[in-house]
Amino acid sequence: MIKTLNHLPHPHEDGATLAGHFSDLAPPLNDRQAHLEASRCLYCYDAPCVNACPSEIDIPSFIRHIHTDNVQGAAQKILSANILGGSCARVCPTEILCQQACVRNNAHECAPVLIGLLQRYAVDNAHFSQHPFQREAASGKRIAVVGAGPAGLACAHRCAMHGHDVVIFEAREKAGGLNEYGIAKYKLVDDFAQKELDFLLQIGGIEIRHGHKLGDNLSLTELHQQFDAVFLGLGLAASKQLGLPHEDAPGLLAATDYIRELRQADNLAQLPLADRCIVLGAGNTAIDMAVQMARLGAHDVNLVYRRGIEDMGATRHEQDIAKANQVRLLTWAAPEEVLLNAEGQVRGMRFARTRLVEGRLQTTGETFELAADAIFKAIGQAFDGAALSDPLARELKRAGERIEVDEQLRTSIPGVYAGGDCVSLGQDLTVQAVQHGKRAAEAMHAQLMLNVEAA
């Protein structure tokens, strides 16, 4: 349990009622709805939706399969480009990716083709008697993958397909990365992350070793010696700090820590509830945190951001979800002081009002206070540098705090690749991580086969 919130009460509703508040945010399409929606696709030549999909799914092609009642074929098409197509269908911000690009996304058409829901329909309704992808002949090569998040899993699956043997080293008890521990509970319901993992592992040739942490009981030096290639899919394991006094006070914590507990809880009624809470941040994590607290029964949920609404990282769709859940969005306010009660627990926060002066954010001199039983920080994730502490790992070139890679996901050390949130390429999205993992696997395979031919 989250020790820093031990002093708080539990939700008023029972576990079963609360579970009902965390059911599917976007319910699936039925057969008829899917068929009708598929018929809206124009099967565009050089389809803009495909260009907008980070994992390059052939969208018109899978939609055509749905339209011709070939759900199996549709799923195979999706999964051949994105082996985590089931979770991406649920968590992708399609409103800024494929659906934004869809030619039907204009005032005359009412809405874009609902690509995300069609993708979910295909993957959920395809019933494969065996894993849809076969392994190539054994290559005799061994690949180490560090981190079993979307990037690491996608890399492992593609390497296994090419006949390589893969060992995934994962620090945590369960695989899945943020699909298991981070994504809002109402986006990935019914243990979907573990079901998708089981499906992915059916390819064979992938072993997962839990409790192995790079920079702790595992070093890049040993992996580099023992394996033919290494992929780092470490994600962003640390949370950014406010840099204010009392940051460790009971009642103040990273939103991701609470979300992790919430996702793993068997009974939501056992969680601590902050009836009045403040969420600091402006991205999707902040929205997820605020909405989940509201759904647990909090009455006063304030999401506070130091800039304006148009600067928020959260998409308009996410902001609408927050508003629909009675989350109050307060902008132009920067955290100034954590306010404590006589027991040293959080009782609120003082904010400084802000404004832009010649493009620079400044405080106006005006302040205000908000009462709160807990404050959740959702001001961004950071790379955990401790993972790269052994002599070889220290040699990895960095782009800022993250690992530097080229277009083929190669790091500065030959044979070591990296992808997902821990690198500086692209956006921090599940679908982007999957694409990195897939592309890194292809690059590794090409290099390993080149070495075989040259030998």
Ligand X SMILES: Cc1cc2nc3c(=O)[nH]c(=O)nc-3n(C[C@H](O)[C@H](O)[C@H](O)COP(=O)(O)OP(=O)(O)OC[C@H]3O[C@@H](n4cnc5c(N)ncnc54)[C@H](O)[C@@H]3O)c2cc1C
Binding site for ligand X (CB under 6 A): 91-92, 146-152, 169-172, 177-178, 182-183, 187, 213-215, 233-235, 237, 256, 259, 284-285, 288, 381, 387, 420-422, 428-431, 433
373 binds, among ligand SF4, ligand X, none (CB under 5 to 8 A by kind): none
Half-sphere exposure of 361 (CA within 13 A, CB side): 12
Shortest Å distance, C-beta 86 to ligand SF4? 19
Distance of alpha carbon 455 from alpha carbon 449, whole angstroms: 10
What percent of the residues of the chain are helix, what percent strand, and what percent coil, each to the nearest 5?
40, 20, 40
Tokens standing for residue 30: 């039925």
Rounded CA separation 142/246 (Å): 48
Whether the Cβ atoms of residue 303 and residue 330 lie closer than 8 Å to each other: yes
Residue 60 binding ligand SF4, by CB under 6 A: yes
The yes or no reply on residue 49 touching ligand SF4 (CB under 6 A) is yes
Residues 6+ away with beta carbon under 8 Å from 421: 149, 151, 234, 235, 236, 381, 428, 433
Cα distances (Å, whole numbers) of residue 397 to 24, 400, 406 = 41, 9, 11
CB of 90 to ligand X, least distance (A): 8
> If you search the block for the tokens 């927050």, which residue do you land on?
322
The answer to the question of residue 242 lying near ligand SF4 (CB under 6 A) is: no
- Asked whether position 53 contacts ligand SF4 by CB under 6 A, the answer is no
- The residue assigned the tokens 């580099």 is 224
Which residue in the set 16, 36, 42, 356 belongs to the binding site for ligand SF4 (CB under 6 A)? 42
74 binds ligand SF4 (CB under 6 A): no
CB atoms within 10 A of CB 446: 12
Considering the rule CB under 6 A, would residue 214 count as an interface residue with ligand SF4?
A: no
- Rounded to a whole number of angstroms, the minimum distance from the CB of residue 1 to ligand SF4 is 45
In the complex, what is the shortest distance from the CB of residue 109 to ligand SF4, in angstroms, rounded to a whole number?
9
Whether residue 11 contacts residue 265, with contact meaning beta carbons closer than 8 Å, is answered with no
Instruction: Give the shortest CB-53-to-ligand SF4 separation in angstroms.
Output: 9
Which one of ligand X, ligand SF4, none interacts with residue 150, CB within 5 to 8 A by kind?
Answer: ligand X
- The item of ligand X, ligand SF4, none sharing an interface with residue 113, based on CB under 5 to 8 Å by kind, is ligand SF4
Residue 43 interaction partner, one of ligand X, ligand SF4, none, beta carbon < 5-8 Å per kind: ligand SF4
Span near ligand SF4 by CB under 6 A; candidates 97-105, 287-295, 417-425, 432-440: 97-105
What SS3 class is residue 441? Answer: helix
Nearer to ligand SF4, 42 or 399 (CB): 42
The number of C-alpha atoms within 13 Å of 421 and in the hemisphere containing its C-beta is 19
Would you list the DSSP string of 382-394? E--GGGG-SHHHH
Give the footprint of ligand SF4 on this chain (CB under 6 A): 41-44, 47-49, 59-60, 102-104, 113, 115
